[in-house]
């Protein structure tokens, strides 16, 4: 029987343990970065950080009792969503809320990309992906929808997951990339019509209609259902939005 020596597990090498420790540090760092991201996103979505406000990396690090590194990583992720902007020599600032023109351009792009994504994805649907779409809609229905971001973030996650799964199922890297560029704006778009979720019942019914179309295996029906959903989202958001 092999004996362990010098504190090393039997059958393992010292560099194995070093690798384990490095892996643990990597996981812990990612968990910390995710925590900082969620805290900053909640402050943005709840309106505690106002449009145009400067975001201090060092100040945020002190407030959250972390080093500046995970704050920088979180801000870089938020920049991709459009929620913050990096200004040369000035650091990060909260992005302005969508104007009506911004919103019109975003929805115009969604109407071009997402219905086609639905048609392609339905034509290439697998049982496994259908099950994932069903789970996303189920999660959407059961997610809480209170007034604070902490209460409705699971709803947003399920919503975004549904659309992302469809984009991935197109089998077209360029269509998936085009959606990813739009999807990065999802959080900022949500603030266009005010804080919180105000259209859940309508949106859930529309997601269910898209899912039903996928279940029939009819790509044209899936395309039409997605177009109907995006058009109705646009109409509701415009109706709810304050004047510029």
Amino acid 165: pLDDT: 98
7 found inside a domain? no
Which is more confident, 183 or 135? 135
pLDDT tens by residue, 47-59: 888 889 999 999 9
8 found inside a domain? no
CB atoms within 10 A of CB 93: 16
**Contact (CB, 8 A) for 214 and 130:** yes
Number of domains in the chain: 2
The rounded distance, in Å, linking the Cα atoms of 111 and 228 is 9
Which range (1-15, 159-173, 180-194) has the least confidence? 1-15
- The mean pLDDT of 138-151, rounded to a whole number, is 91
Please state the three-class secondary structure of 107-119 as a single string: HHHHHHHHHHHHH
Classify each residue of 64-74 as buried b or exposed e, where b means 16 or more C-beta atoms within 10 Å of its C-beta. bebeeebbbbb
Q: Is 6 left (phi over 0), alpha (psi -120 to 50) or beta?
A: left
The rounded distance, in Å, linking the Cα atoms of 140 and 134 is 10
Which is more confident, 180 or 172? 172
**Contact (CB, 8 A) for 217 and 206:** no
pLDDT beyond 50 at 174: yes
> Same structural domain for residues 110 and 73?
no
Ramachandran angles phi, psi of 205, nearest 5°: -60, -40
Amino acid 5: pLDDT: 45
**What DSSP assignment string belongs to 1-43?**
-PPP-TTPPTT--HHHHHHHHHHHHHHHHHHHHHHHHHHHHHH
- The mean pLDDT of 60-71, rounded to a whole number, is 95
* Boundary-marking domain end, from 49, 67, 94: 94
pLDDT beyond 50 at 145: yes
Distance of CA 171 to the CA centre of its chain: 20
pLDDT beyond 90 at 71: yes
**Contact (CB, 8 A) for 120 and 185:** no
Amino acid 184: pLDDT: 65
* Boundary-marking domain end, from 45, 62, 94: 94
> Same structural domain for residues 122 and 152?
yes
The pLDDT confidence band at residue 7, using thresholds 50, 70 and 90, is very low
Q: What is the Cα Rg of the chain in Å?
A: 22
2 found inside a domain? no
Beta-bridged to residue 92, according to DSSP, are 55, 86
> Same structural domain for residues 235 and 118?
yes
- 29 lies in which domain range? 14-94
- The mean pLDDT of 71-79, rounded to a whole number, is 93
> Same structural domain for residues 132 and 227?
yes
């Amino acid at each position: 029987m092999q004996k362990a020596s010098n504190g090393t597990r039997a059958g393992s090498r010292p560099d194995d343990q070093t690798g384990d420790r490095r892996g643990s540090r990597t996981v812990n760092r990612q968990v910390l970065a995710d925590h900082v991201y969620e805290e900053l996103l909640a402050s943005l979505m709840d309106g505690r950080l106002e449009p145009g406000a400067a975001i201090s990396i060092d100040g945020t690090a002190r407030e959250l009792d972390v080093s500046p590194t995970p704050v920088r990583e979180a801000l870089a992720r938020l920049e991709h969503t459009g929620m913050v902007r990096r200004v040369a020599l000035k650091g990060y600032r909260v992005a302005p809320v969508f104007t009506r023109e911004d919103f019109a351009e975003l929805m115009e792009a969604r109407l071009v990309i997402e219905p086609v994504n639905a048609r392609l994805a339905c034509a290439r649907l697998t049982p496994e992906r259908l099950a994932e779409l069903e789970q996303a809609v189920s999660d959407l229905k059961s997610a809480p929808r209170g007034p604070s971001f902490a209460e409705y973030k699971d709803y947003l996650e399920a919503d975004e997951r549904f659309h992302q799964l469809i984009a991935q199922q197109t089998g077209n890297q360029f269509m998936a990339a085009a959606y990813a560029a739009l999807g990065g704006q999802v959080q900022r778009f949500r603030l266009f019509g005010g804080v919180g979720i105000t259209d859940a019942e309508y949106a859930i019914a529309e997601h269910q209609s898209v899912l039903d179309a996928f279940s029939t295996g009819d790509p044209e029906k899936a395309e039409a259902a997605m177009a109907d959903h995006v058009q109705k989202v646009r109409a509701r958001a415009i109706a709810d939005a304050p004047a510029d």
